Structure 1
């Protein structure tokens, strides 16, 4: 096995008739076997080869998460070319940058809207010879062709696959650019094969599981899941529509799902806010059940015995509260996997107490997305678990996490100086600060470049405070902690209107976000949560003042990356006046 296409070929040979993917249709769901997937990949690869895809080439995919994304990716790789991923939310200028920097000659676009985006910058894409549209119309000038028209049946597919080596470039994924110009991370076939092998050694999942995939495949986390499921033969339900997640969970009843922390935060906040709105006996039962679940979770984490009385209480809490919550997810979830951003320990313990354990992991695009993961038998919330087999870790003198192993990138595309800096001394310098516990689990304390240093010389970890405040206030969507070179710490808070609006209506409050952000009741709710978090913080790291913004952070306004991480510099620039007002004398 020397490449991802050869991995797919081995999977087809081992379990040709087993379910590979399940996708939505007008009548429900359609399943494809591994044999059927192989047939579609083969014909698409032969067609793309005729268009010029091959060794040394790059093909960009500008598409949301759907079956065609995976089929196209596998087909591109089968020709010996590399895939360049582009978020469908990217602007035309951002798309042009990635396409040109990667040297892509073919772009696969999801629909006519994405084609229109490319048309608007066509003059800036001189190397693009063809745009292949998944769902759309071909153009009269031949620049745009349909995906169905690309398929071919003649050619030596196996010879193309056999020619690919482990060290060949497989993927160019561009970093989100939170700290500057996006960099193209070069990941080889061997990088991805290593992560798949490592997950297999951990023995978490197998063919009897059902994996639900909605994460962006343009992100390294989604790409990792694609390769892992092929390696392990795990059937995957694919539907990238965010507004369908809740319905899909109930309909397909998966056993495993990966998500970014924002999804778990939103579910947690919706549940808590709903119970608070109900009030009375239901709220008291919920709060009692939640505290009981957290006690049990903490005992399990530390290997402590659970008293008989607590076990009885937990059984009652499970029947009254937790079992209903699990049913929302289809009733079969064995565990969730969280990555891409820090997960609040408070929220993790709530889910674990409810019988919905979240295994938090850690990795960078530069380390093929997967480097550390909590194991079900040794979960410790607040950590990202132990390294995968074959991954090495070192903590530098300044606390920076350094990673080594087969999963580490080849370098940044066309950026030798940046590559040398990131891979100095043979280790990937992550830019994250952390420590290892007695069991070798990694605890990340913050981003090296994001630590706040107050004017008094004290260091504050903003993401830790942000996670605590979001867990304490169910109405908060995002929290942005600020205070670098200032004399105290402040925060910006945005509202999750899906959660806030029902509460505001029930309380007779305005439902306009702008009005609500200034209302004394709303301010009091946020202040209560911040005070709760402040109570166990050192005085220099307490949030002294805050403001509620009238609009949430979004990808479209540039405050969030496509993987829903906050762009700190963008927030500071966009809301500079509000931040400055919090420091007015």
Structure 2
């Protein structure tokens, strides 16, 4: 086994996650801790550390009145919004445990999670969520309340707690230790029933503090204005939760956005103007494609393409210099880069609010060229890697030494090892304690402090980790050829018309693919080709469109052997979506669900 080990992790204070909130309010009561906006409003209202503490304390007292006790589990089923953070910290203030539930969950999924965790209450966002929980509450004898955010449950619970002394909350809070379970986060469930990961206050605190300490300049590099971030990732996912905790612990102004589409995200970013953006590759790809499409519609397509190439070349030269392998950008490249900064890169930064200089990406792997592009456009991208079981990141690219196309080095205090079969094993203080009610699964995942991740990867000569795919996703053709599909899919998706690509071929004679198209990009392509909008049948039958996608597939195939190349593909009229159950809430494809739904299309790919 090959191993990469980092330095010791920073010391984490004793106690629980809520302590930092009260400490900050005591030291700097006027610090702007959060920002929130009313529904339908574009105006952000600042919330100081003292103001947020008072809201959390009042809600915590109300929760005690409602019967929530130390160690009880309370479910949160909502999109990303201010009240989620409020409930998290109120629950942690009394030693209770939050259980995130994705708002898109089906009734059976909700029943399973609430029953297994024995949740005593469930906070829901709206009437639809309340009805989903209500449909299964007869099977939940421990559930004593369903509290609805859009019915102002926060105010009602707070009113209930008016007579409770503050000291009662603080006695509960002081009983929390780093080993106390803070939350039960369920895995995405790309295959099989999801399992609840027991993450402690210490797991999440050391994760947040490690990032704040080692990546201080990334979070704080914001010029004269205070650092800030806009959180739009799902709060039911560990990545979003750690971003929340790091912001609160690090004094980074935190805003929330419920919608994750680029149509809602970009206007919100322009209004909020964050200094650091925490995202997933899927959204970064969408932002890039939208920028390219806007340039094409403005008649600046060639200018954008030239600027993109210069950005990649400039960032690659800077990367090589930082790693000690080159002199950096030459005079001619520096001049061209400066010229495009005025005409192209500044426009892209303005779309993201104008202040973003650093991006953090996780959840799935990001293409090297896309990372270089953003860095070349003035927004250095730091890609990391982790799982729910590792409290989010266990590796990340370090400031000043990012190696694009990799997921970086082990975080301080962590270690990464590659098993003989290529599986990535990790260990460190951010690794979870086990799965709720599943001792056998816990024993299968944890070996003497090491977590077997199920991901395949390799370490380079400098100890940087690259992920090549999931063990369970490995395709073995009928001829015995092994293929990790993710890198091939990423290359196909680099084409502006392609939205998603799923490679198939397990126990088949050759590799094939299901491909979906980006709607706005397709509409623009048709317009520039003097064509009318195509209906679903037209998308499937259009020969010129197929020829364009064939070129994208052929370009992707140049990076692999013939045995690994895509020999056939099928265009699909609709994207794989979260609503159809074909993506996880963290926007990764559910391979099993897709292959089941499109079984007939896949069979046709292999028909004589």
TM-score normalised per structure 2: 0.92
Structure 1 SS opposite 2:461: coil
Partner of 2:219: 205
Preserved contact between residue 94 and residue 170 of structure 2 (Cα < 8 Å): no
- In the TM superposition, residue 149 of structure 1 has moved relative to its aligned partner by 4.7
Q: Which runs of 5+ in 2 are unaligned?
A: 1-13
Structure 1 position 42 matched with structure 2 position 57: yes
CA gap of 1:154–1:12, structure 2 versus 1, over 3 A, is same
Structure 2 SS opposite 1:167: coil
Partner of 1:262: 282
Partner of 2:417: 394
Partner of residue 346 from structure 2, selected from 323, 335, 358: 323
Alignment of 1:303-382 (within 5 A): 303=321, 304=326, 305-382=328-405
- In the TM superposition, residue 146 of structure 1 has moved relative to its aligned partner by 4.8
Structure 1 position 114 matched with structure 2 position 114: no
Structure 1 position 244 matched with structure 2 position 259: no
Partner of 2:171: 159
Preserved contact between residue 346 and residue 468 of structure 1 (Cα < 8 Å): no
Alignment of 1:374-453 (within 5 A): 374-453=397-476
Partner of 2:3: none
Partner of 1:99: 114
Cα deviation per residue 1:456-494 (whole Å; 9 max; x = unaligned)? 2222121111111111x1122211011112121111011
Structure 1 position 87 matched with structure 2 position 96: no
CA distance in 1, matches of 2:603, 2:316: 41
Kindly report the root-mean-square deviation, in angstroms, between the aligned alpha carbons of the 2 structures: 1.8
Partner of 2:31: 18
Structure 2 SS opposite 1:449: helix
Preserved contact between residue 42 and residue 271 of structure 2 (Cα < 8 Å): no
Cα deviation per residue 1:290-342 (whole Å; 9 max; x = unaligned)? 11111111111211221111111111222222221111112211111111111
Cα deviation per residue 1:537-576 (whole Å; 9 max; x = unaligned)? 2111111110111111111211111111101111111111
Structure 1 position 495 matched with structure 2 position 517: yes
Structure 2 SS opposite 1:455: coil
CA distance in 2, matches of 1:239, 1:323: 24
Preserved contact between residue 518 and residue 548 of structure 1 (Cα < 8 Å): no
Partner of residue 128 from structure 1, selected from 143, 149, 155: 143
- In the TM superposition, residue 383 of structure 1 has moved relative to its aligned partner by 0.5
Q: Which runs of 5+ in 1 are unaligned?
A: 139-143
Partner of 1:297: 315
Preserved contact between residue 455 and residue 486 of structure 1 (Cα < 8 Å): yes
CA distance in 2, matches of 1:14, 1:441: 39
- In the TM superposition, residue 121 of structure 1 has moved relative to its aligned partner by 1.8
Partner of 2:292: 272
- In the TM superposition, residue 276 of structure 1 has moved relative to its aligned partner by 4.4
Structure 1 SS opposite 2:472: coil
Structure 1 position 572 matched with structure 2 position 586: no
Partner of 2:9: none
TM-score normalised per structure 1: 0.95
Segment of structure 1 superposing worse, 321-330 or 346-355: 346-355
Structure 1 position 179 matched with structure 2 position 194: no
- In the TM superposition, residue 150 of structure 1 has moved relative to its aligned partner by 4.7
Say how many residue pairs are matched.
Answer: 577
CA distance in 2, matches of 1:212, 1:66: 11
- In the TM superposition, residue 27 of structure 1 has moved relative to its aligned partner by 6.2
Preserved contact between residue 224 and residue 370 of structure 1 (Cα < 8 Å): no
